[in-house]
Chains A and B, each alone.
Chain A
Amino acid sequence: MSPMRWRMLRHRLPALAAALFLVSGAFLATAQDLASFNEKTTVHTLDNGWTFIIVERPVAPVFSFATYANVGAAQEIPGITGLAHMFEHMAFKGTPNIGTTNYKAEKRAIEELEAAYQVMQTERLSPRSDPERLQQLEARFKEMEKKADEYVIKNEFGDIIDREGGTGLNAFTNSDVTGYFYSLPANKFELMAYLESERFLHPVFREFYKERDVVKEERRMRIESQPFRRLLEQIVSAAFQAHPYHQPVVGYMSDLNSITITDAEDFYRTYYVPSNLVTAVVGDIKADEILPIIEKYFGRIPVGPAPPALRTVEPTQIAEKTVVLKDPSQPMYLEAYHKPAATDIDEPVYDAIDDILFTGRTSRMYRSLVRDKKIAIAAQSFTGFPGNKYPGLWFALAVPSRDASTEEVQTAVRAELERLKIEDVSDEELARFKTRAKADLVRSLRSNQGLAENLARYHTLFGDWRELFRYIDRLDAVTKADIRRVANVVFKDSNRTVGMIVTETAQADEDKGSAQGES
């Protein structure tokens, strides 16, 4: 409905695991299919380090692409939380060639605006801030903002794409990466090359402070006004004590009130170097025809030094943590366990656990909580949130039924996790997981956009798109013993953070029923 949904987090609960990290993928006959896929696929890295993965899929005269920047909210330090996402928004604001009536004059106006903002901010954040002076500085800032705005052609960047028939124009930021994507008719590849090289060659931070207001509205809408997201923000910040995964991707309100154009420029220069970017293109295009166009446009971008590596490693959790959100909304129950990064050798084992416990009507959680005990209306696991590039979290979520208590749900969830530690899963369960994973991968190959995003994601994570297919072999090798071993490592009290919403109303206790039989 709204074409303007920058997806900060693609957070659709039922599809979360798949959407955030499509590792439930597998392929029919792996090695063979990788070979056939290899034939259609061209990988090319420009001299400046930007990698392109091109898949020829001439189904209809269209193509899609996804550009992944290997930077996310985990690269933020205190004071600039929300900046990775803010930059993503700014990447829609145009360049010296797009979105302006007079770039020279506009550039000067933006510099003056930023100077006015810096003076005002210094006053505002000073412990001895003078209200009168602050007011004057604010007035000055507003005036500069108005002046800079006179040169702006509103949303010209997006307008060009809309006009030329682009669809699905969007972007997202999570803790690990920032992704940009859309689809165009097949004859407009050069337009994509022009626009996408422009936006990362010389982005212009116009309308920055207005857009910051938009992002603040996004925070209010997505997090502050949604009970489940309020809880999730709390549980994640409780689970991580040192690693930046504990920061919300959209940022804290105080930081959104304070990040500046200067911050955004620094961030851009540090992280948006070509070697930190990968673009996957899928559709009715021919590699040998588009490679010269790619060289011509993306080759314009100068080499940059590799961004600094993240230093902080989350220490081993030693104490169980519990977050209770007393809220007017209905109960929710979540448990989070620390798990290794997605590149870890055991990642397929976590997929097997997800599948056997949570996927479909044959899953253990569905059969116990939803079908038999009727204490939950849905049960779901998800990983990759807030990220999976670094060691992250594995979540079990249950939505309690109207009459059920979070205690009952907790008992039932724990029983299934415990069972996994002491009993082998059945042959049928293991086989079902592998069959389903393979079929899911096949299903994921029929969308240009989906495929482009998967290739870009795998390249960003593993440095090689082929992992998308090789992952199958690893998945196929998962054994019952692996599942028991991993369950015993991960499902420990000391590795757990529990989060729940407890309904707070006058009759909260009376409203709760029970799931015990009459006796």
Chain B
Amino acid sequence: MKHVERVRALAGITVAVAMVLSMPAMTAAQVKKVKDINYPTLPAFDVPTPQRVVLDNGLVVILLEDHELPLVDATLRVRTGSRLEPADKVGLAELTGAVIRTGGTTSMSPDELDDYLEGKAARVETFIRRESGGGSMSCLSQDLPDILKVFADVVRHPVFAEDRIEVARNQVNSVISRQNDNPQGILFREFQEIIYGEDSPYARNETYTTIANITRDDMVNWHGTYFHPNRMVLGLVGDFDSDKVLALVKETFGSWPRGQDPPPAEVAFSKVPRPGVFYVEKDDMTQSNIIMGHLGIRKDNPDYYPVEVMNQVLSGGFASRLSSNVRSKKGLAYDVFGNVGSSFDHEGLFRMFMTTKTETTGVGIEALLEEAQNMTAQPPTDVEVAKAKQGILNSFIFNSDSARKILNQQITLEYYGYPLDWLARYRDGIEKVTIQQVREAAAKYIHTAQFTILVVGPKEGQDKPLETYGPLALVDITIPELETTQFALTDENRAQGAALLASMLEASGGATAVDALESVSQSGETVAVTPQGEMAIKTKGVVAFPDSMRQELVWPFGTTITVITQDDAFLNTPQGVQPMPESQREDSMKSMRRSPLFLLKARNDENFVAAAMGQEEFAGQAANLLHVEYMGDTITLALDPESGQCLGMTFQGKNFTGAPGEMVQVFSDYRDVDGLQMPFKVVSTYNGEPFLDSTITEITVNGPITEDTFARPEARTADKDSN
């Protein structure tokens, strides 16, 4: 590198000389220190004031013109929130918030809505979070009249299309299944649960069960309860004329009648500290994630401003205590922060957080504890407090440097009922803070003796036992399975079940004929309701008990063949032959076993369970319900009380998209086939909606089965590149 250095040095001299020659007016004295710089006065800046109008129906409208670019944005805040939802339906608010937009309106289907908005590069979204709900809209200003109309339509007239509810439900369930993949996700979630209490609406989380409990009616009701214009703030910002846009708002939202406010609800959370060490073992990581703290404050706390300055000293910037000591000086963490958090209408959380390698877990905990203690043991100095205030005040302009920021602050203040000049008060409040107040705030709001300490990370390699820092509790983060209401088996109902099964056996042709059954071949026609619409399918199938089947479906787009044998399972589609995924093989086997004759053949198997559930209506007639458990499946059979003939069955199945739901099959048109009674008509519904309608034209029992029946065709093999 020496050669390079010399070249650089020479070039530098040349440039320096050139500069002096070419810019004689420039002051020769170079600034050496930052304090030598003199700043011109910051130009006066009048923060634009939005216009506030309350419509007759109670809707608060806030408008702010900004003509720089041909764009308009709108924000809607609605008085609602997931903290108001019932404990057995956690997730209801979130799902409702999503499907208001995705589920279509009375005038536009979900797809029409998506096509229309995206065709104009516009966005309309809705959501419900913990403390509020709302929507947002963004469009080119030329499209404002059209898009605002759509926005109003979405929040006023959602129809909650079932299919879009299932998309959202599937997404939430999948997110639940992934909730333990990200260490910080676990850390913040569990910390919240420990501090606020795991049942508190500020901490609790949806489970598969609470999501399954939510119905479309719940969503319709939720929207009807909370979405009234008198519970909303609507803000618009952008390239428009305020008078014109106000007329537009009146046109689109003005006719929305006032609604009744629901009774105020108390949102409970724990105020009792839970000192101690909590630990989540997670071994697929190389760090410990550490968090500690307790409850914080509300923003309307009289000590709010001193607390803000104290937070700045602790962790507000590059030279704050946490960053300088824990990160730069000790090299313990990349990410470290801490502050006494505040919320608008309830206590926030005081949290100190860092991630550090497993080998310095104890050292890391000690470093954070030391900083917390030092906020009182080595209280903030004059210099620290002065710098903290200076930083907040000098950057104050950035609170109002765009019209969108100004508008969103106004909406938030309006929503929580805070004074609309809160920002100006904030600046005054910070200016007046004294060092004494900051020290008092530290003593008043940081209590290390009450700290909840939570660690997520590997067990192997920790430098000190976690018990060193307090009594240790292990936190179980296992994701709870879906709770299903279990049918309770008794000797009595099993005995009754055996009797029902016997009557069904008789009605089907008797034990001899049933037990002699080895295979069934049948062909027919099915009308299927698929996501692409109704489709007519020709079907041809062979089942050889107990474990082989071949099914040929002739769709409008081509033929698919599914084959399962003891040692093979494949799909033959127009795209070629592919091995069948294990999960799909399992599902197909399950559906094969769900034939009444197959179940009857298995009646003597030691794992076969049958129990009577009593009489209920099935498909419009009285029926004896028979609960059957076999090979991991639970099925409810409906039997004719007179003849014992199987009228149909109910079970958990999947539709074409793979979404699980309640499947009901109704059997009719029973005919005799070689001494066996078999239905020639099968009509299925999925969650109460039409699904399959099958007419069987021909059934052969114990027909010839050759090796070819289940053989793989000599076709090209589809790519098989993954495990």
A408 near B394 with CB under 8 A, answer no
User: Whole-angstrom distance between the alpha carbons of A163 and B34 in the complex?
Assistant: 12
A312: interface (CB < 8 Å): no
Considering the chains assembled together, what is the distance between the CA atoms of A273 and B387 in angstroms? Answer: 34
Given A217-B334, A217-B355, A225-B285, do A194 and B37 touch, yes or no (CB 8 Å)?
yes
The verdict on A517 contacting B656 (CB below 8 Å), with A163-B390, A185-B394, A217-B357 known, is yes
Q: Is the CB of B586 within 8 A of A190?
A: no
- With CB as the reference atom, state the residue of chain A lying closest to B30: A300
Chain B residues within 8 Å of A212, by CB = 331
Q: Which of A221, A303, A517 contacts B335 (CB 8 A)?
A: A221
Task: Please tell me the size bucket of the interface on A.
Answer: 35 or more
Q: Which of A58-66, A75-83, A124-132, A464-472 contacts B (4 or more CB under 8 A)?
A: A58-66
Are the CB atoms of B119 and A183 closer together than 8 Å? no
State in angstroms the CA–CA spacing of A404 and B102 once bound together: 22
Is B361 located at the chain interface by the 8 A CB criterion?
no
Question: With A and B bound together, what is the CA distance between A360 and B101 in angstroms?
Answer: 13
Q: Which of B489-534 contact A (CB under 8 A)?
A: 528, 530-532
- CA of A78 to CA of B180 in the docked complex: distance in angstroms? 35
Beyond A162-B391, A270-B4, A518-B653, is A513–B658 a contact (Cβ under 8 Å)?
A: yes
A139: Cβ under 8 A from any B Cβ: no
Which residues of B lie under 8 Å from residue A149 when comparing CB positions? 329
CB within 8 Å for A61 and B43 given contacts A154-B324, A165-B397: yes
> Which residues from A are CB-within-8-Å of B315?
2
Q: A187-B40, A191-B34, A512-B583 are in contact. Are A377 and B329 (CB under 8 A)?
A: no
Q: Which residues in chain B, 627-660, are within 8 Å of chain A measured between CB atoms?
A: 653-660
Q: Is the CB of A438 within 8 A of B121?
A: yes
A-side contacts of B30, CB under 8 Å: 300
Of the candidate stretches A105-113, A326-334, A342-350, the one touching chain B is: A326-334
Asked if A5 is an interface residue, CB under 8 A from chain B, the answer is yes
B34 and A98 contact, CB distance less than 8 A? yes
A158 touches B658 (CB 8 A): no
Chain B contacts with A in 31-47, Cβ cutoff 8 A = 31-34, 37, 39-43, 45
B660 to chain A, nearest CB (A): 7
A86 to B723, CA, bound (A): 38
Instruction: Decide if A48 is an interface residue (CB 8 Å cutoff).
Output: yes
Q: Given the complex, which residues of A lie within 8 Å of B121, measured CB to CB?
A: 432, 435-436, 438-440
| Cβ of A207 under 8 Å from chain B | yes
**Number of interface residues, chain B, beta carbon within 8 A:** 134
A28 contacts which chain B residues (CB < 8 A)?
Answer: 70
Q: Report the minimal beta-carbon distance from B627 to chain A, rounded to whole angstroms.
A: 20
Given the interface pairs A158-B318, A435-B121, A519-B553, the reply to whether A59 lies near B401 with Cβ below 8 Å is yes
B722 A210 Cβ-Cβ under 8 A: no
Closest Cβ of chain A to B286, distance in Å, is 4
A509 contacts B19, CB within 8 Å? no
Contact of A155 among B16, B163, B324, B357 (CB under 8 A): B324
Chain A residues within 8 Å of B283, by CB = 328
When C-beta atoms are compared, the residue in chain B nearest to A274 turns out to be B15
Interface core residue of A186, A217, A410, A512 (most chain B CB under 10 Å): A217
A225 B287 Cβ-Cβ under 8 A: yes
Of A238-246, A367-375, A380-388, which stretch is located at the interface? A367-375
Q: Mark B439-482, 1 if CB is under 8 A from A, else 0.
A: 00000000000000000000000000000000000000000000
Q: Do B318 and A167 have beta carbons less than 8 Å apart?
A: no
Chain A interface helix/strand/loop/mixed = mixed
- List B150-197 residues whose CB lies under 8 Å from chain A: 163, 166-167, 170-171, 173-178, 180-183
In angstroms, how far is the closest chain A Cβ from the Cβ of B484?
A: 16
Give CA–CA (A154, B526) in the complex, Å.
76
Please indicate the chain A residues that have their CB under 8 angstroms from the CB of B19 in the complex.
47, 295, 299
B567: interface (CB < 8 Å): no
Given contacts A4-B335, A211-B331, contact A360 B114 (CB under 8 A): yes
B114 touches A362 (CB 8 A): yes
Measured in the bound complex, the distance between the Cα atoms of B532 and A372 in whole Å is 8
Contact partners of A304 in chain B: CB under 8 A: 4, 7-8, 11
Of B18, B19, B316, B657, the most chain A CB neighbours within 10 A belong to: B657
User: In the bound complex, how far is the Cα of B336 from the Cα of A408, in angstroms?
Assistant: 41
Chain A residues within 8 Å of B531, by CB: 371-372
B39 and A60 contact, CB distance less than 8 A: no
CA gap between A443 and B238 in the complex, in Å: 12
User: What separation, in Å, do the CA atoms of A401 and B328 have in the docked complex?
Assistant: 42
A479 to chain B, nearest CB (A): 19
1/0 per residue, CB under 8 A from B, across A65-105: the answer is 00000000000000000000000000010000110000000
**A62-B397, A185-B397 known; A302 vs B355 contact (CB < 8 Å):** no
B657 touches A187 (CB 8 A): no
Task: Determine whether B622 belongs to the interface, using a CB cutoff of 8 Å to chain A.
Answer: no
| Contact of A10 with B by CB under 8 A | no
Contact A302 B331, beta carbon cutoff 8 Å: no
A127 to chain B, nearest CB (A): 26
Given the known interface contacts A299-B15, A407-B722, the answer about A431 and B119 at a Cβ–Cβ threshold of 8 Å is: yes
Q: Can you list, as one digit per residue, whether each of A155-187 has a CB less than 8 Å from chain B (1) or not (0)?
A: 111111111111101000000000000010111
Q: In the complex, are the beta carbons of A360 and B284 less than 8 A apart?
A: no
A399 contacts B588, CB within 8 Å? no
B34 touches A165 (CB 8 A): no
What is the distance, in angstroms, from B382's C-beta to the closest C-beta of chain A? 14
CB distance from A202 to the nearest CB of B (A): 11
Cα A167 to Cα B289 with chains together (Å): 27
User: Which A residues are in CB contact (< 8 Å) with B22?
Assistant: 47
Chain A residues within 8 Å of B583, by CB: 403, 405, 509, 512-514
Q: Is B118's beta carbon under 8 Å from chain A? A: yes
Interface contact A215-B43, CB-CB below 8 Å:
no
Asked whether any CB of chain A lies closer than 8 Å to the CB of B721, the reply is: yes
Interface string of A48-64 (1 = CB under 8 A from B): 10000000000111100
Q: Are B8 and A302 in contact (CB under 8 A)?
A: yes
- Which of the listed residues B336, B393, B654 has the most CB atoms from chain A within 10 Å of its own CB? B654
A1 proximal to B (CB < 8 A): yes
Q: How far is the CB of A262 from chain B (nearest CB, A)?
A: 9
Residues of A within 8 A of B15 (CB): 47-48, 299, 302-303
**Complex CA–CA separation, A362 to B333 (angstroms):** 43
Q: Given A4-B327, A374-B166, does the pair A327, B284 have CB atoms closer than 8 Å?
A: yes
The reply on A463 being an interface residue by CB < 8 A is no
Residues of A near B391 (CB, < 8 A) are 162-163, 165
Q: How far is the CB of B394 from chain A (nearest CB, A)?
A: 3
| Contacts known (A154-B324, A322-B722); A515 close to B657, Cβ less than 8 A | yes
Contact of B26 among A227, A292, A428 (CB under 8 A): A292
Q: Which residue of B lies closest to A513 (CB)?
A: B583
Residue from B33, B41, B329, B653 within 8 A of A154 (CB atoms): B329
Contact pattern, B 337-358, Cβ under 8 Å of A = 1, otherwise 0: 1010000000000000001110
Contact A183-B398, Cβ < 8 Å, known A215-B334, A322-B722, A372-B657: yes
Report A-chain residues with C-beta under 8 Å of the C-beta of B319. Answer: 154-156, 158-159, 162
Chain B nearest CB from A305 CB (Å) reads 6
What are the residues of chain B within 8 A of A371 when measuring CB–CB?
163, 167, 531
For the A-B complex with A297-B31, A516-B584, A518-B663 known, give 8 more contacts whose Cβ atoms are closer than 8 Å.
Answer: A48-B15, A159-B317, A162-B318, A407-B722, A442-B69, A493-B721, A502-B723, A517-B655
**B interface residues with partner A (beta carbon < 8 Å):** 1, 4-5, 7-9, 11-16, 18-19, 22-23, 25-27, 30-34, 37, 39-43, 45, 68-71, 102, 114-115, 118-121, 138, 140, 163, 166-167, 170-171, 173-178, 180-183, 283-287, 289, 315-320, 323-325, 327-337, 339, 355-357, 387, 390-391, 393-398, 400-402, 404, 528, 530-532, 539, 551, 553, 562, 578, 581-584, 586-588, 591, 653-660, 663, 684, 692, 719, 721-723
- Can you pick out 20 interface pairs between chain A and chain B where the beta carbons lie within 8 Å of each other? A2-B335, A3-B317, A47-B22, A60-B401, A167-B395, A185-B395, A185-B397, A186-B42, A214-B334, A217-B334, A217-B357, A362-B119, A374-B166, A399-B174, A403-B583, A435-B120, A438-B121, A513-B654, A514-B587, A517-B655
